[in-house]
């Protein structure tokens, strides 16, 4: 049964007078561990959103308080974080990052009546099989991302051998499968299809197999840490193949791992929201606080913006009322004007192809002109 979560959870006595309670919301992701760079992105966006919303008067006269949850991209830890938010009477969570965390956590949020908007979880099952209406995302989906990647590979690498790799995670396996399906639909079969184990340091055996198969493009469904190591070890073995991956290498840490071996790496990601004029002051504020606005920082900011505007429209944080407002509304955010479809997916442009050059990433056309 859903909890009824009202905007005023409790009344506090302050200097003998009554004051409205603060509203607790959460941001959840890998704050520690090998994917902590993405947790930092989510946290930076959430902290700035709350600072800006509170400075403008809060939500329905109440101030927001942020609770940070660390799931380390581990499903069990994600469930523990979700239960923690329930005990804190949180009404909303911006998170999680990894699809393998968001999917099980969403079950808890559905049971506890906590709204959830993921800034970054792209596995189709997250919304296709959502356990309640109050589960949303402001990022794209892997079937969209894989379609763009597969079509790009078929058009630009049709005459070379292609390898499709995945790290066995919900995100990596799903993204690799969608890309392979799109590639096959375009009339090209991958030469090598392999899975690898995340967290290892030595991928030389895998790289040797790529070398023997004369692979010209390696598509990696996985995260920046392993993708970076594979890129570096490919260069060490003289494998002159282009690497392509998805949105989980949208971090400067990828280049920190690869160095020059990352030159020419391709990836799919949504249009860079930092280029939106409306986002400029937010980007400056995030950077002034010593954080980066790259990757999913602005997506997290936008998730909180959309929820806050829906609460204002509903006049309450009551779960059902805010769900109704989110389903019916259109919300101006730093990533663009957005609304949600009947699955909880966002109605925004999908994915474009980026290229890493000189330690930075930009749209393929822009990068090629540098």
Alpha carbon separation from 98 to 69, 86, 102, 105 (Å, rounded)? 13, 20, 6, 11
Query: How many whole angstroms separate alpha carbon 230 and alpha carbon 197?
Result: 12
3-state secondary structure of 117: strand
Query: How many whole angstroms separate alpha carbon 187 and alpha carbon 162?
Result: 13
Please check the confidence at residue 82 and state whether its pLDDT lies above 70: yes
pLDDT score of 5: 36
pLDDT score of 366: 55
* Predicted confidence (pLDDT) per residue in 162-190, tens digit: 999 999 999 999 999 999 999 999 999 99
Query: How many whole angstroms separate alpha carbon 286 and alpha carbon 203?
Result: 36
Could you give all domains of the chain from N- to C-terminal order, each with its CATH number?
11-140+274-338 (3.40.50.2300), 143-269+351-369 (3.40.50.2300)
pTM of the model: 0.90
3-state secondary structure of 110: helix
* Predicted confidence (pLDDT) per residue in 14-62, tens digit: 333 334 579 999 999 999 999 999 999 999 999 999 999 999 999 999 9
* Predicted confidence (pLDDT) per residue in 94-134, tens digit: 999 999 999 999 999 999 999 999 999 999 999 999 999 99
Q: Please tell me the number of Cα atoms within 13 Å of 39 on its side-chain side.
A: 19
Query: How many whole angstroms separate alpha carbon 289 and alpha carbon 70?
Result: 21
Question: What token pair was written down for 15?
Answer: 């200097």
Please check the confidence at residue 3 and state whether its pLDDT lies above 90: no
Gyration radius of the chain over CA positions: 21
């Amino acid at each position: 049964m859903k909890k009824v979560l009202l905007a005023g959870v409790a009344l506090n006595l302050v200097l003998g007078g009554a004051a409205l309670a603060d509203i607790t919301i959460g941001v959840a992701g890998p704050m520690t561990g090998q994917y902590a760079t993405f947790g930092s992105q989510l946290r930076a966006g959430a902290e700035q959103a709350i600072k800006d919303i509170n400075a403008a008067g809060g939500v329905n006269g109440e101030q927001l308080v942020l609770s940070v949850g660390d799931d380390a991209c581990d499903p069990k830890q994600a469930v523990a974080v979700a239960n923690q938010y329930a005990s804190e009477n949180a009404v909303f969570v911006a998170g999680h990052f990894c699809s393998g965390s968001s999917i099980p956590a969403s079950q808890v949020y559905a049971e506890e009546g906590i709204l959830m908007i993921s800034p970054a979880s792209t596995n189709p099952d997250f919304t296709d099989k959502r356990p309640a209406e109050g589960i949303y995302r402001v990022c794209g989906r892997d079937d969209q991302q894989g379609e763009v990647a597969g079509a790009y590979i078929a058009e630009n690498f049709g005459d070379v051998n292609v390898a499709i790799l995945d790290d066995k995670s919900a995100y990596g396996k799903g993204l690799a499968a969608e890309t392979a399906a799109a590639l096959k639909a375009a009339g090209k079969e991958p030469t090598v299809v392999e899975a690898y184990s995340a967290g290892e340091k030595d991928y030389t055996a895998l790289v040797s197999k790529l070398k023997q198969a004369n692979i010209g493009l390696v598509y990696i469904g996985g995260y920046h840490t392993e993708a970076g190591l594979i890129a570096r070890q490919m260069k060490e073995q003289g494998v002159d193949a282009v690497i392509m991956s998805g949105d989980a290498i949208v971090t400067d840490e990828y280049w920190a791992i690869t160095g020059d071996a990352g030159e020419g790496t391709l990836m799919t990601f949504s249009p860079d929201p930092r280029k939106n004029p409306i986002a400029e002051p937010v980007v400056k504020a995030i950077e002034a606080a010593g954080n980066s606005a790259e990757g999913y920082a602005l997506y997290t900011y936008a998730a909180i913006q959309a929820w806050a505007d829906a609460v204002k429209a509903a006049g309450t944080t009551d779960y059902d009322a805010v769900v109704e407002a989110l389903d019916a509304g259109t919300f101006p955010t730093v990533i663009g004007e957005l609304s949600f479809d009947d699955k909880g997916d966002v109605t925004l442009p999908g994915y474009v192809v980026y290229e890493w050059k000189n330690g930075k990433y930009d749209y393929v056309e822009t990068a090629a002109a540098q």
